[in-house]
Amino acid sequence: MGVNAGRAGAPGTRAGQVIEAVGGVYRVRTDEGIVEASLRGRLKWTGPVPGKVVIGDRVEIVAGTGGAFVIESVRERRTFLSRWASSGRIAKVVAANLDTLLVVASVADPRPSREVIDRMLVMGASGGMEVRLVLNKVDLVGSRAVQAELEGAYRAAGCAVLATSAVTGKGMEAFRAVIHAGSSALAGPSGVGKSSLLNAVEPSLDLRTRRVGRRSRIGKHTTVSSRLIALADGGHVADTPGFSDVGLGGVAAAELDRCFAEFRPFLGTCHFKDCTHVHEPDCSVLAAVADGHIQPERHRSYRTILAEL
Ligand SMILES: Nc1nc2c(ncn2[C@@H]2O[C@H](COP(=O)(O)OP(=O)(O)OP(=O)(O)O)[C@@H](O)[C@H]2O)c(=O)[nH]1
Ligand SMILES: [Mg+2]
Ligand SMILES: [Zn+2]
C-alpha cells in the first residue's frame, strides 16, 4: 500500500484501514501490521458523512500514552454500503470503500424476487459501488428456465451476471476472479448461499451455512462483529451480519433514476427537468418502457422504491 511512507502528517501518526469493529475496539491494518485502536473523542472527518467508523474506513491513528492507539481522523469515503437499522427506517452505513457489491439470488429455494434484486442493485449503485448479480444454485433441477430468464433480463438492463453453484463449482472461476480482484460484499436474502459461496472460494473461512431462522436470533444478545477479511489469493470480502436487508434510506429520490443503469441513456431528455418518470407527459423513460428499451418489471421496481423514499 505504501500510503504512509513520506506522508506529511503529524509525527507519530500512521494511516490504515479498519478491518474489524467490535464494540468500541477497532482493528486497523497499517503498513507495520495490525493494531487495535479506540476512537478519539473529537474525531475528525474529511468526508461529509460523520457517523460510526465502519470496516473499510481509511483512518489516521496515533500512538497515545502507554502505546495504545487512537483513531484520530477518518478520510472521505469512496463508496459506502448501508442497511436498515434494526428499528425504524434509518439506514446505517456498515462498510466503506468497497469496490463491488455482489447481489446474490438463488434460482430456486428460495425463489428469486426481482424487486428484492432491484433494491439491492440500487443500494450498491447509490453507494458508488460496482454491482453484479450472482445467480446461485444453478445445479438445482428445473432451474434452467429461471436462470435463463433472469440472466437475459439483467444483462439487458446493463448488469453483469454470474451464474454459480457453490455445490458443483459451476461458474466459480468467474466468481473467484471477481472476489480476488478487489474488495467486495455479498448481499442477498437468507438462504441464497452467500456463506456457501465464500466457503467455496476459501474453505478455511469456515463460515456458518444453512438457514438461520429469523426467530432464532430474537432474544440473543447481539454482539455484532463486522470484519473485512483478507483472502489468501488476494482481495477482501466484508463479512457483516444481516446483509439480507439492505437499506435505501440514504438514497435521494432525485438520484434514484441514475441507479437503474439502463435508464441513464434516457435521463435529461424528459420534458420536465424534475421529471420523476412516473406520470409526466413527454417522459423519455416512460417512452423507453413503452417501446421496449426498458423492461416494465424494472420500471415497476423503480416506482415502488421511489414511493418509499
Ligand atoms: N443446491 C445448492 N444448494 C446450495 C448452494 N449454495 C448454498 N446452498 C445451500 O443453501 C443453504 C443456505 O446456504 P447459506 O450459504 O447458509 O446461505 P446464506 O445466503 O449465507 O444465508 P444467511 O447467512 O442466512 O443470509 C445451505 O443449506 C446450503 O448448503 C448451491 O449452489 N446449490
Ligand atoms: Mg450466511
Ligand atoms: Zn421522465
Give the CATH superfamily of 253-308.
Answer: Probable gtpase engc; domain 3 (1.10.40.50)
Q: Domain ranges in the chain?
A: 13-74, 92-211+222-239, 253-308
Question: What is the residue whose three cell numbers read 424494472?
Answer: 298
Residue range 177-214, pLDDT digits in tens = 999 999 999 998 888 999 899 999 999 988 888 754 44
**What grid cell was written down for 141?**
433441477
Question: What is the residue whose three cell numbers read 453483469?
Answer: 160
Question: What is the residue whose three cell numbers read 470496516?
Answer: 55
- Give the model's confidence band at 125: pLDDT under 50 very low, under 70 low, under 90 confident, else very high: very high
Of 29 and 245, more confident: 29
Q: How far is Cα 212 from Cα 209, in angstroms, rounded to an integer?
A: 8
Give the contacts of 55 (CB within 8 A, at least 6 positions apart).
18, 19, 20, 21, 94, 95, 96, 226, 227, 228, 238, 240
Q: How far is Cα 294 from Cα 292, in angstroms, rounded to an integer?
A: 5
103 Cβ closer than 6 Å to some ligand 1 atom: no
Say what the pLDDT of residue 90 is. 63
Say what the pLDDT of residue 232 is. 95
H or E segment to which residue 301 belongs: helix 296-308
**What grid cell was written down for 26?**
477497532
Residue range 80-117, pLDDT digits in tens = 998 765 555 667 888 999 999 999 999 999 999 999 99
Fold designation for 92-211+222-239: Rossmann fold (3.40.50)
CA of 98 to the centre of ligand 3 (A): 31
Residue range 167-177, pLDDT digits in tens = 999 999 999 99
Of all ligands present, the nearest one to the C-alpha of 199 is: 1
CATH fit for domain 13-74, picks 2.60.120.380, 3.40.50.10440, 2.60.260.20, 2.40.50.140:
2.40.50.140
Of all ligands present, the nearest one to the C-alpha of 170 is: 1
CA of 166, closest atom in ligand 1: 31
Of the candidates 88, 96, 101, 16, the residue with the CA atom closest to the CA atom of residue 52: 96
165 Cβ closer than 6 Å to some ligand 1 atom: yes
Q: How far is Cα 126 from Cα 93, in angstroms, rounded to an integer?
A: 12
Residue 136's beta-bridge partner residues?
106
Q: What percent of the chain has pLDDT over 90?
A: 67
212 Cβ closer than 6 Å to some ligand 1 atom: yes
Say what the pLDDT of residue 245 is. 60
Q: How far is Cα 238 from Cα 39, in angstroms, rounded to an integer?
A: 21
Residue range 254-277, pLDDT digits in tens = 999 999 999 999 999 999 999 999
52 Cβ closer than 6 Å to some ligand 1 atom: no
CA of 199, closest atom in ligand 1: 15
Q: How far is Cα 129 from Cα 261, in angstroms, rounded to an integer?
A: 13
pTM of the model: 0.89
Please, which residues have CB less than 5 A from ligand 2, an ion?
A: 194-195
